[in-house]
Structure 1
Amino acid sequence: MSAKSSLTTIGFDADDTLWENEQFFRMSEKRFEALLAPHTDTPDLSNRLLEVERRNLDLYGFGIKGFTLSLIETALEVTDGKIPSSVLGEILAAGREMLRHPIETLPHVQDTLEQLAGRYRLVLITKGDLFDQERKLAQSGLGDFFEAVEIVSTKDRGTYERIFNRHGDGPQYSMMIGNSLKSDIVPAIEAGGWGVYVPHALTWVLEHVDAPVAEPRFRQIEHLGELGALLADIG
């Protein structure tokens, strides 16, 4: 297939692809550990939190609000419900700070979107809390580059089939770009599209899977500034 002649639609992930995200979760987790240190000697607090997050995904989905609830639940569990209300208040405050944090776009994002807009249909496909994702997109100033925005609860093969049929000419004429192999790349390729992996220094452990290196439609670039050359190469 010639991407140059038939690739019509490009989907972009948002968090840690267009702007920083995971670093704020890591910072809040460190703050959480410091807050709980006087109240528990649990040696594997990070793993305990991860267990709670994992079992809450189906209830709360992805995002800061679900993360904050998981912090509170973990605090209650590891202290047998004896965590002071003042500490719970500080955990809630940390969640609110994350929701108000200014957006920091990643390098090459603005230039790359400017180059691609008009040449391809650009679709933002992001997973998480509706209000928070809308806030981040508005603050980023990138909204005008996208012909469509899809905020979804999960990213699987069916998600990409539906979105690329709705906003493009089908998955076979589409490409998905993102920092998560599990959510952005593997299911987009399974749907029949291209998957371009852009690693980020910080990626949530629950998003880790092996790269589908044997797939002919899998590509990896170091940053979005390399995307233009990649499109020319596969075309």
Structure 2
Amino acid sequence: MDSHQIVDLFRVIARRLAEARAELGALDGAIGDADHGNSMADGFAAVVRASAEAATRGSDVGDLFVVAGRSFLNAVGATTGPLYASALLRAGQRFAGQKTLAIADLPDLLAAFAAGISDRGKARPGDKTMMDVWGPAARAAEQPGPPRDRMARALRAAEDGRDATRTMVASVGRAARLGERSLGHVDPGAASAVIVIAALQEGLAHHLAQDRP
């Protein structure tokens, strides 16, 4: 996949998050300030604009993720901005200097995203955050197999992680102020992480279908 095809992946993510803007806002409204849907949709819309311009200028894949990370941070404040900026910047480090991203390496994006978010946010499993999705998804994607199978396993693990946050009490972030009242609610960051991973799987499937003779 070249830089323009990576931009196409970003477009799928941005489109799915835009479609889920209201749903994510409602989830966040139950335990936060109701802005998570706007933050994610606006952040990835900014990523598409900036990365498309960078691809047109001839940026390689690694640089494209760096541009994406900086644009997300510029567009989104609060907690989500630095977390996804760190995810995208870590992907930039992982694929630094590469003109293309091999299809077999696409699932490795999940490990890069998870590492960037974990290092920045310091959340642990069970804290009721997006790391309850990114951690299991990254581990599932590391298992050997064709990229389509690895992404499918990652998405299943992500969905299980998202659903598990309903049974958790938030211990970090704004939701932690609610204590036991956060129990029974899906974490909005976990929900949006599943959307991102599902969009990556969708983009992968579309790319593979285009390459099929």
Higher RCO (C-alpha 8 Å, min separation 6)? 1
Larger radius of gyration: 1
Bigger fraction of residues in strand: 1
Q: Give me the TM-score of the superposition, normalised by structure 2.
A: 0.30
Q: Give me the TM-score of the superposition, normalised by structure 1.
A: 0.28
